Amino acid sequence: MIRNISVRSFYTSCTHLKKGPSKAKSHSSHQWLTRQMTDPFVELAKMKNYRCRSAFKLLEINEKTKILQPGQTVIDCGASPGSWTEIAVNETNANGKMKNKPKGFVIGIDLLSIHPIEGAHLLSHSDFTLTKTQDQIRELLKGRKIDCVLSDMAPNSTGVRSLDQDKIMDLVYNVLRFAILMSSENASLLVKIWDNGNVKKFEEIALRYYKTFKHIKPEASRSDSAEKFLLAKDFRGLENITNSSSN
């Protein structure tokens, strides 16, 4: 059974600086600024007009795995500021710019504000973990099944490693549950986690529903970051899973 999730607070990977009086915060802000100034992906994001450097994580993953294709329906959880949604729109042709390709459908959701993206349906200031938000997504889908669920969500850090790990795993279980209920056969699921001992259990559960599972650390993911991505591919189909369980 997939555990019931009730996490209410998270940020995307492109966090914003917060002003504060403490020396620790000032030192942290200085480190962040220094890292940004020396990060080639930050400059490349500006050159390519992407909203955030994290765009290159999804671009690299998609180049290797082809999880995004024209005509697909894609959900992007933790979308702000919108770089993954932009990539999903372009790759699925949700903006209709590829005239000879099928047109996709993309929804982006985040607690934070997301500025408009051509070809995307956006739910800003929306908590994905709430039933009412997931009902809103279903209404937008109008019966469509999802071909790919993306999640770059991460919780607010408490500084307590074990607690932070539990919180991000709660988020990915919530995304997994939604994906299982709403995905088409052969769909994909890509979620961000922080490397910890709970991943093995998640993998075991995911493999009940998907045929393949792999760990990915894209080049654009900073080497000193504990983040990595888990990719489950080839969803078995809820009907097939139900029939298999009843036999």
Active site residues: 192
Q: How far is CA 31 from CA 28, 38, 55, 140, in A?
A: 5, 11, 22, 41
Alpha carbons within 13 angstroms on the beta-carbon side of residue 161 total 7
| Helices and strands per DSSP (H, E), number in the chain | 8, 9
Nearest to 139 by CA among 123, 152, 125: 123
Amino acid present at 224: D
CA distance 155 to 187: 25
Nearest to 80 by CA among 126, 39, 114: 114
73 contacts 88 by C-beta, under 8 angstroms: no
